[in-house]
Amino acid sequence: MAHRVTGVLIFFFLFVHVLDTALVRVSPEAYDKVVATYKTPVVNLMEYGLVAAILFHALNGLRVIAVDFWSKGPRYQKQMLWSVVGIWVVLMAGAFYPVLQHSLRTLFGS
């Protein structure tokens, strides 16, 4: 279920990204306003969520491929799921400061 949810979230991000990028041709001033909102801590937190969704979706996709194409995949799918979750948690912990450093500095000072 999480694989499908992250896939839908990534799709909606891509849809919004295409729309906001297309806005530059219609109204550069409106585009500048939209880009300015992207520099807020709330949007930065949403970017961290996007990183989380993409990373989980990618790692779990590899697990799904292994389950489908590896003869022993179905037997080890539970262990592979916990491995994916463990790797995801470690990588998300490592991405915390690099992704959120702008917001952390804005909220708490440098």
3-state secondary structure 29-78: HHHHHHHHHCCCHHHHHHHHHHHHHHHHHHHHHHHHHHHHHCCCCHHHHH
CATH assignment at residue 63: 1.20.1300.10
The pLDDT value recorded for residue 61 is 96
pLDDT (tens digit per residue) in 35-92: 898 889 999 999 999 999 999 999 999 999 999 999 999 999 999 999 999 999 999 9
Number of Cβ atoms within 10 Å of the Cβ of 57: 19
> What's 109's DSSP letter?
-
57 labeled binding residue: yes
Phi–psi pair at 95, nearest 5 degrees? -85, -10
95 touches 44 (CB < 8 A): no
51 touches 99 (CB < 8 A): yes
Query: How many structural domains comprise the chain?
Result: 1
Predicted TM-score (pTM) of the model is 0.85
